[in-house]
Amino acid sequence: MDPLGDSLSKVEILEVMGNDLTVVNAARVSFHKESKEMCEADAKLIRYLAKHKHVTPFFHPQIRLRIKMPIFVAREWYRHQIGFARNEVSRRYVDFEPEVYAPKELRARDPKLKQGSKPESVENNNRLALAMSVSLNSQCLMYNILLNENVAPEVARMVLPQSMYTEFIETGSLAAYARLCQLRLDPTAQKEIQQYAEAVSKLLQDKFPVSWAALMAEPA
């Protein structure tokens, strides 16, 4: 999936451990019982668990994703820590050409909100978007100049912008992803992180239809 729609952003499933039945059987072990195939009683049990915050059965399914997102989004994404493991590309070790997210629509400040933005772009959108893109490219150019002058990658990276893409592998439990998505699908969250949460949500809805619907129906 390409959450930002610029052909560089990415959310991709690498591995999924478990399914809706994993949640059911983690709960049914309390009674030393096991379901072999999902039935309506199992779906009901999942909804009961989600509604009453019996969250541990949702810890068992694990999902591994490869995600490519701008650093300003990753800064927020990484605040969700419990239930996740992450490993990320390091610009101490690599010095390949940086890729940046250059938005085409520059949302205007909303005077009614302390944070966030209006859905509409600023008046001089095209001119400013071009200027922003030029500025981002010039920072990448400076990075290459520093590297060519033998500056170490860990030092040269200091000029790179917050909208530079980073890439990481993330493993999280179904419960952890549900919490992250609920918080970041909220309209008060930054639009770009909402777009990533939307992408993850679609992928997990497909893999865990009953559990995902049940978890997302309850407040975080």
Ligand X SMILES: Cc1cc2nc3c(=O)[nH]c(=O)nc-3n(C[C@H](O)[C@H](O)[C@H](O)COP(=O)(O)OP(=O)(O)OC[C@H]3O[C@@H](n4cnc5c(N)ncnc54)[C@H](O)[C@@H]3O)c2cc1C
Q: How far is the CB of 61 from ligand X (least distance, A)?
A: 17
C-alpha separations of 192 from 10, 37, 116, 177 in Å: 12, 38, 11, 17
Q: Where are the beta strands (DSSP E) in the chain?
A: 10-17, 62-70, 84-88, 165-173
Q: How far is the CB of 197 from ligand X (least distance, A)?
A: 10
Is 68 or 179 the residue whose CB approaches ligand X more closely?
A: 179
Is 176 or 210 the residue whose CB approaches ligand X more closely?
A: 176
Is 106 or 189 the residue whose CB approaches ligand X more closely?
A: 189
Which residues lie near ligand X (CB under 6 A)? 79-82, 179, 183-184, 186, 188-189
Residue 70: exposure state from Cβ atoms within 10 A (0-12, 13-18, ≥19): buried
Half-sphere exposure of 165 (CA within 13 A, CB side): 22
Q: Answer yes or no: 86 catalytic.
A: no
C-alpha separations of 152 from 60, 104, 162, 166 in Å: 42, 32, 20, 19
CB 50 within 8 A of CB 211: yes
Closest of 220, 216, 219, 205 to residue 20, by C-alpha: 205
Is 154 or 186 the residue whose CB approaches ligand X more closely?
A: 186
Extract the tokens encoding 122.
Answer: 């600023």
Q: How far is the CB of 60 from ligand X (least distance, A)?
A: 17
Q: How far is the CB of 136 from ligand X (least distance, A)?
A: 24
Rounded to the nearest 10 degrees, the angle between the axes of helix 174-184 and helix 209-217 is: 50
Residues assigned a catalytic role? 184
